[in-house]
Amino acid sequence: MSAALAIDGVAVQRGGRLVVEEASLGLAPGECVVLAGESGSGKTSLLRVIGGLDRPARGTIRIGGAVVDDAAATFIRPESRGLGMVFQDFALWPHLSVLENVAVVIRDRAGRDRKALALLDRFGVASCAGRLPATLSGGQQQRVGLARALAAAPRLLMLDEPFSSLDVETRETLRTELRALIVESGLSALCISHDPADIARLADRVAVLEDRRLTACTTPDAMFARPATPYAARLAGLCGGVRVPARGEGSDAAIALGSAQLAIPGGAARLAGAAQALLFWPRGALSLAAEGVPATCIGAHFEAGHWQALLRLDGLATPVPVQCAAPPPRGAVALRVAADRLHLFPFSG
């Protein structure tokens, strides 16, 4: 079966500047890929190129196996690509009623209103059908946006940070609803986000766009186990990001964590000769114990079911966050480190 989306060596220019270089990515039918990246990393530019709103400088884009843009003579217009899109700012047409917003994109004229109402009903906003978008809450507007995207009977659903302008409660509910919709309908979806929660709840795979390049395209669990970059580590839900002095010792790396020297097995290659490293770890890899690296607990806060202690270590500018089951005492403590679970990234700052 053809890939729902295949982009091959796509480069995107904006205002004469290259914002995406040589991006290649494929989406299997029924798969949801979250395209993550920091602000300004080129996510939206790539999405616009896939949608046909902009042209790529190089590369080929295929939707459902058909070439829609090859950066040369072949260019299928956005309206002929069979797409649905949910926008960050909803982009509902303000002068049309909710029903019209959905009905107008249904190609088959017969029973348009009925089909639109059914879609609105599916998203729980049928009662708003006669109202103008401006009179709806943010969550209702985004539900209408989802209904409109599906009304186009798309081959590929694109979502541009669909939950970023919603409150926490609505965001959580809509995430679950969207995941259920994608799974049940077998729709392929490409979702742009920089929220780790979107990756956790929506993604079959995660593609990370950093410094104009796709640095990773993997499953969320693989990204958690082997993050390719510090940004990917953060996205995957690893803790830390602490800068520590480091050096290579044979095939291992030695890092200075406070007054202690720790050996990271096989870490020299990851260090790539850098004198400093960014350190990440999964929950539980650092813990308070009776013996270990001397540290000072400067405070603690409660966060989602556990306590988070902030430890000051000699020679480190940034406090180190460590999870613990009970509120830790202030003052001198000892830190136990599972060195084999640490992730190192070279830091050249």
Binding residues for other proteins, rule: CB under 8 A, are: 48, 51-53, 77-85, 87, 89, 91-97, 99-100, 104-105, 107, 129-130, 132, 148-149, 151-152, 158
State the minimum distance, in angstroms, from the CB of residue 143 to other proteins: 15
Please give the biggest Cα pair distance in the chain: 75
149 or 208: CB nearest other proteins = 149
State the minimum distance, in angstroms, from the CB of residue 35 to other proteins: 16
Which tokens belong to 267?
A: 């870490």
77 or 330: CB nearest other proteins = 77
55 or 247: CB nearest other proteins = 55
Torsion on CA atoms 148, 193, 24, 215, rounded to nearest 10: 180
State the minimum distance, in angstroms, from the CB of residue 169 to other proteins: 25
Type of residue found at 22: E
Beta-carbon-side half-sphere exposure of residue 248 (alpha carbons within 13 Å): 13
80 or 261: CB nearest other proteins = 80
105 or 174: CB nearest other proteins = 105
- List, in order, residues 6 or more apart from 38 with CB less than 8 Å away: 194, 210, 231
Distances, alpha carbon 116 to alpha carbons 109, 126, 148, in Å: 11, 9, 8
52 or 328: CB nearest other proteins = 52
With 0-12 / 13-18 / 19 or more C-beta atoms within 10 angstroms meaning exposed / middle / buried, residue 204 is: middle
Which tokens belong to 41?
A: 């990393």
| Residue 10 β-bridge partners | 23
105 or 333: CB nearest other proteins = 105
State the minimum distance, in angstroms, from the CB of residue 73 to other proteins: 19
State the minimum distance, in angstroms, from the CB of residue 154 to other proteins: 8
State the minimum distance, in angstroms, from the CB of residue 150 to other proteins: 10
DSSP conformation letters of 2-42? --SEEEEEEEEEETTEEEEEEEEEEE-TT-EEEEEE-TTSS
State the minimum distance, in angstroms, from the CB of residue 193 to other proteins: 17
Q: Please list the alpha-helical segments (H only) found in the chain.
A: 43-51, 98-103, 112-122, 138-151, 168-185, 196-202, 220-225, 230-236, 268-271
Count of all residues that appear for the chain in the document: 349
191 or 300: CB nearest other proteins = 191
78 or 294: CB nearest other proteins = 78
The whole-angstrom separation of Cα 257 and Cα 313 is 7
State the minimum distance, in angstroms, from the CB of residue 172 to other proteins: 25
Please say whether the beta carbons of 216 and 232 come within 8 A: yes
State the minimum distance, in angstroms, from the CB of residue 173 to other proteins: 23
